[in-house]
Structure formats: C-alpha cells, structure tokens
C-alpha cells in the first residue's frame, strides 16, 4: 500500500514537471516566433528604405535626362515638367516619387499674419490656439524689442531647458517645433482611419510652410488645400482643384482659369516651378508570389537644382530618413 502511494506521488510530480516544462517550451517558442517575425519585418523595412533611397536617385537622373532623351514621336522619354509624380518599377519592388516644389508652400518668414491664421484654421486648429501660434511665429521672426523679454520669451525661459526666441528669420522649418502652441502632431501630421480602416495622414505645417517657400505664385499641381485656403481660395474651389489634378497635372495656365473666381487669392494659383523641391519616395518590396509587401518606407530629399554653369546639376540640401508616408 505504501509502495503504491509513493508511486502515485512520483507520478503526480512527474506530471507537474512535464506541465511546467511544456509551458516553458511553449513560452520560449512563442517568444522566438515573435522575435523572428519582428526581425523579418525590420529587415524588410530596411530593404524598403534602401529601395526608396534608390528611387530618389533614379528620379534625379530622370529629371536631368528630361530635356535630352525623347521617344520617336518627340515626347519626353523620362520626364517633362511639371510632373508631380514618378512611378518606378524595380526587380525587388515598386516606388513612387513625389516632386513637390517649394513654391507649393508659403514662406514662413514672409507670410502675413492673415495667411498664417487662415492656414492654421484650414489645418483644423481652433481659433484661440491659431491666434496664439500666429503671434508666436511673428514674435520668433521679429527683431528683439531692445533688452526686454517678450511674453513668448518669458514662456520659453520657464521651460527646461530654457531658451529665447531667435528674433530673426527661421533658418530651418523644424524651428517651428520650438514655437509656443506647435505640437509634433501639428508639425508632422496626425493619422485617422477611413471607412475601410486604413490609416490616412492629414496635412501638417511642414507640408505647408518652408524657409524657401513662395512669396507670390502657388503651385497648383502640388500645393495642399490648406495652403490654397491660406491665400484666400475658397475651400470648395481648393477641393475642386485637387480633384481636377488627380486626373493629371495642370500643364497650361489656361487650364486653371476656370478656377480663378474661387476667391481673392485664386490669381496666385498657377503653374509655379521652383529651383528647390522636395523629392519624397515611398517604396514597397515585392514578395516571392509577386504581390507587394505591406511594409513600406518613405524617405525624402530637399534638392536645389543648379544651372548649366555649375559642375553638378543639383545639390542635396537635406536628407530625411523614415518620413511619414504621404496621404
């Protein structure tokens, strides 16, 4: 009887030990599987990033070749201006490169207060906060009032680390992140889900303002609707312009004329090329079954195109890795 009881106790101990070891093995297997999938995703994201960077280089070549290489019928083989989007096919995936001239944005150093206010309201900022941000931008770019501190300086000095407004022109658009009232979501953009559950990015300050932006004409092919509204174009007309350009870029000023009654600033909307542009490339890898992967990466470059008197045809002024994907 005692031997049977000992055998039962030993069997119970073995069963508990087996259950514990099984639980540990299951946990380890799940962890390894999750880490393997995460590593695979990271590798795919890295490869997609390199593909996007290569797409920027390819687009720069196409822009250079545009005036030279033509098809038998005389049409441009690689690029004609304006072309706001270049789609590229690679053996390992696909990429699209947006070409956004700085004339699609307002000059943050020269925009008048009403334009800044209109822009913020068009981006969905409430009136009180929009008024504060407008005043803070004007304060940042205005000379210091003698040796005294402005109310915004006093606010900045209360922060840790503390600082003062530049009281001179913005040198980089990222300085807006230091301005009172400007949040990362307002500067970089936020996301919401559409009816299908997909993430949709909303326009932000960096899409609408630039230190190289326009003081006059606004590019009709690439300007955000908020920029059009900032200069006095009605919201309905701005939406109509965007809908029209989805069918193809405006190539002649006459194509824009039907929209010129859209508000006091409609005359500023035109085909406005610029020597400085942002090239934003979004790339997705191609899977073994031929379909495109869900993982995508976006990079962008701020490029200044130079004249024939220069040794190099262009100069990359800024490079941005892992940019927020376009809308």
> Residue 214: what are its φ and ψ, rounded to 5°?
-85, 140
User: Do residues 286 and 94 make contact, with C-beta atoms less than 8 angstroms apart?
Assistant: yes
Helix (H) or strand (E) holding 55: helix 2-65
Closest alpha carbon to 214 in 197, 231, 226:
231
> Per-residue pLDDT for the chain (327 aa), expressed as one digit of tens each?
555 656 667 777 777 777 777 777 777 777 766 666 655 568 888 999 999 999 999 999 999 998 788 999 888 889 988 899 999 999 999 999 999 999 999 999 999 999 999 999 999 999 999 999 999 999 999 998 877 899 999 999 999 999 999 999 999 999 999 999 999 999 999 888 877 877 788 899 999 999 999 988 999 999 999 999 999 999 999 999 999 999 999 998 889 988 877 667 778 999 988 999 999 999 999 988 989 998 899 999 999 999 888 889 999 999 999 776 665
End-to-end CA distance of the chain: 77
pTM of full prediction above 0.95: no
Q: How many CB atoms lie within 10 A of CB 70?
A: 14
Categorise residue 4: left if φ over 0, alpha if ψ from -120 to 50, beta otherwise: alpha
Rg (CA), the chain: 27
Q: Cis omega (within 30 of 0) on the bond before 82?
A: yes
Closest alpha carbon to 61 in 244, 313, 309:
313
CA distance 117 to 22: 63
User: Do residues 89 and 285 make contact, with C-beta atoms less than 8 angstroms apart?
Assistant: no
């Amino acid at each position: 009887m005692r031997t049977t009881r000992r055998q039962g106790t030993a069997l119970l101990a073995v069963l508990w030990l087996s259950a514990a070891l099984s639980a540990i093995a299951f946990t380890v297997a799940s962890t390894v599987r999750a880490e393997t999938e995460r590593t695979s995703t990271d590798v795919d994201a890295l490869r997609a990033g390199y593909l996007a960077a290569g797409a920027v280089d390819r687009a720069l070549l196409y822009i250079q070749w545009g005036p030279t290489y033509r098809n038998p019928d005389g049409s441009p083989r690689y690029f004609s201006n304006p072309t706001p989007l270049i789609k590229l096919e690679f053996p390992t995936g696909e990429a699209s490169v947006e070409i956004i001239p700085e004339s699609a944005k307002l000059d943050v150093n020269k925009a008048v207060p009403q334009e800044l206010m209109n822009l913020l309201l068009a981006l969905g900022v409430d009136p009180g906060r929009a008024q504060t941000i407008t005043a803070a931008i004007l304060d940042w770019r205005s000379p210091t009032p003698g040796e005294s501190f402005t109310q915004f300086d006093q606010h900045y000095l209360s922060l840790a680390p503390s600082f003062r407004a530049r009281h001179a022109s913005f040198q980089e658009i990222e300085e807006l992140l230091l301005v009172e009232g400007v949040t990362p979501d307002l500067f970089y953009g936020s996301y919401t889900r559409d009816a299908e559950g997909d993430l949709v990015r909303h326009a932000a300050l960096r899409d609408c303002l630039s230190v190289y932006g326009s003081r006059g004409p606004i590019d009709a092919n690439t300007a955000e609707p908020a920029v059009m509204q900032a200069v006095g174009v009605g919201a309905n007309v701005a939406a109509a312009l965007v809908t029209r350009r989805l069918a193809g870029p405006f190539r002649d000023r006459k194509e824009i004329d039907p929209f010129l009654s859209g508000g006091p600033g409609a005359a500023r909307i035109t085909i406005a090329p610029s020597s400085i542009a942002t090239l934003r490339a979004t790339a997705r890898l191609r899977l073994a079954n031929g379909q495109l992967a869900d993982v995508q990466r976006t990079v962008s470059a701020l490029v200044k195109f130079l004249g024939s008197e220069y040794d190099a045809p262009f100069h990359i002024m800024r490079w941005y890795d892992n940019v927020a994907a376009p809308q």
